[in-house]
Structure 1
């Protein structure tokens, strides 16, 4: 069976499953690299002819080319997913990728914002005009809901309800996050100024957060808003980015003791709880001490007596 044809069939399967254009683009690039390698370096063009040695050789070449471990791991997942599908379609009896090791990533401590830093970044923007309140609302929503950058820029107005937000995450997976009363106060003022700002303008997008022209926001635009917030608040010693707000949200949720890690994983839209567990590495010794004291059996005994 021609390998290129099977890959193309799999990509249409992914389209039918609702994968995002970005994910499909990455898959096409990864599979193109694999096909070219197998054809040019291993003289393999048939699915049944692919061996574990061919696949191991492909990843060795990527390492020699200087591809970072994180990129190789992502490539490994993409190719493994394809071979899993081949097994499910009974094109192959087993997934050859289970015999190909994925590189181990060094464990990094994910440093995150403090409560004071986030408060300063939210307060860095005012309610005086549309752009100021829009920026305030985006920073507040990232901190209070833990949304990804793509989820903020792609958020539709119709999906922002009274107390909930319907989010479409990676792979177009749906989930519900909740709007706290504090965030709601900011969103009410944002909605009011947004309506007033665009009352005589043609709005060109149904997104919730809009540019001053009424168009959707790019990832770069959101990133620049976060950088501006960090600059105004004088944030130092931590990476100022949209993703750092997800770390902040995760740590704060765990610190309060109100959320268990399984519930947090659902709210973050993680497909694997192992991803959520990485955020635990961001806990400082002081935060761990606070959690330990709060969960101490003897301390809880004294509260009841």
Structure 2
């Protein structure tokens, strides 16, 4: 019964809510972990679901998991139980009064424009892989794409003449994002002299390919980003979205409207974009203290 409920819930978030594949996989993992806990502790279903859920969350805390992990699993359970209650599989929602743990908002790490420049110019454009890497890095920074969006691009997603890329983001939401001059030139070079060699006889439509002619993965891009950061002498602890965070921060620092940046990033809620205003505000404070005679 529990597994059947989980399968129905996953079908719901995939078909009706149109959530991204990685989000669905996270739901599957988190809820399956909880269901395994229920079975091992022999909590009755549905009568013992509320007690089982409380015991499970206490167990997560005893395990020393981060607040972010506990919050994510709590949110997954609330969505799952809400779904089951709406379908009348449960007489009432065991998570109705459950609140998520408060999270300390962590500001994303960003690079300076000079550091970005060093990374973007690190790949050598005399090999197919170097052409691909420069094009990926340039496009990631030029358009602020999520890593999943970047590696998910197909050849026909990019219009170099008009200067835009068509992206399917979270929740299968489509948006059109401009591509800057430098990124367009890097993409032209890659499509002309890099991708045909990496592809060989492949028939796929993926824009960015690995050495086997297959679609580049998120992990593959993260590895190349760290490689070129190291080559550029940058020792910061980077994340896969470092160039995306840097894109947003640099746009705002140079006067871009917050709503425009929200649209470019594909954020459904502007509160998600507002985290970058803390970064730019901190930078403005630094400039003020350096420049003002009575700061």
Query: Shorter-chain TM-score: which interval?
Result: 0.7 to 0.9
Alignment partner, residue 186 of structure 1: 186
* Contact 1:52 1:99 (C-alpha < 8 Å) held by counterparts: no
Using the size of structure 2 for normalisation, the TM-score is 0.84
Q: What CA distance in whole angstroms lies between the structure 2 residues aligned with 1:19 and 1:173?
A: 9
The CA RMSD over aligned residues, in Å, is: 2.7
Using the size of structure 1 for normalisation, the TM-score is 0.82
1:220-249 CA-to-partner distances (Å, cap 9, x unmatched) read: 22112111211221113x223331111101
Alignment partner, residue 33 of structure 1: 33
Alignment partner, residue 165 of structure 2: 165
Q: What CA distance in whole angstroms lies between the structure 2 residues aligned with 1:284 and 1:124?
A: 30
Superposition deviation, residue 69 in structure 1: 1.3
Superposition deviation, residue 92 in structure 1: 5.4
Q: Residues 271 and 55 from structure 1, CA distance in 2 versus in 1: closer, same or farther, beyond 3 angstroms?
A: farther
Q: What CA distance in whole angstroms lies between the structure 2 residues aligned with 1:136 and 1:19?
A: 30
* Contact 1:55 1:100 (C-alpha < 8 Å) held by counterparts: no
Matches within 5 A, 1:119-130: 119-130=117-128
Unaligned runs of 5+ in 2: 289-295
Superposition deviation, residue 16 in structure 1: 2.3
Q: SS at 2:175's partner residue?
A: strand
Q: SS at 1:80's partner residue?
A: helix
Alignment partner, residue 297 of structure 1: none
Alignment partner, residue 202 of structure 1: 201
Q: What CA distance in whole angstroms lies between the structure 2 residues aligned with 1:253 and 1:51?
A: 48
**2:130 matches 1:140:** no
* Contact 1:122 1:136 (C-alpha < 8 Å) held by counterparts: yes
1:96-123 CA-to-partner distances (Å, cap 9, x unmatched) read: 4341121222233433100000011111
**2:214 matches 1:215:** yes
Alignment partner, residue 15 of structure 1: 14
Q: Residues 241 and 36 from structure 1, CA distance in 2 versus in 1: closer, same or farther, beyond 3 angstroms?
A: closer
Q: How many residue pairs were aligned?
A: 285
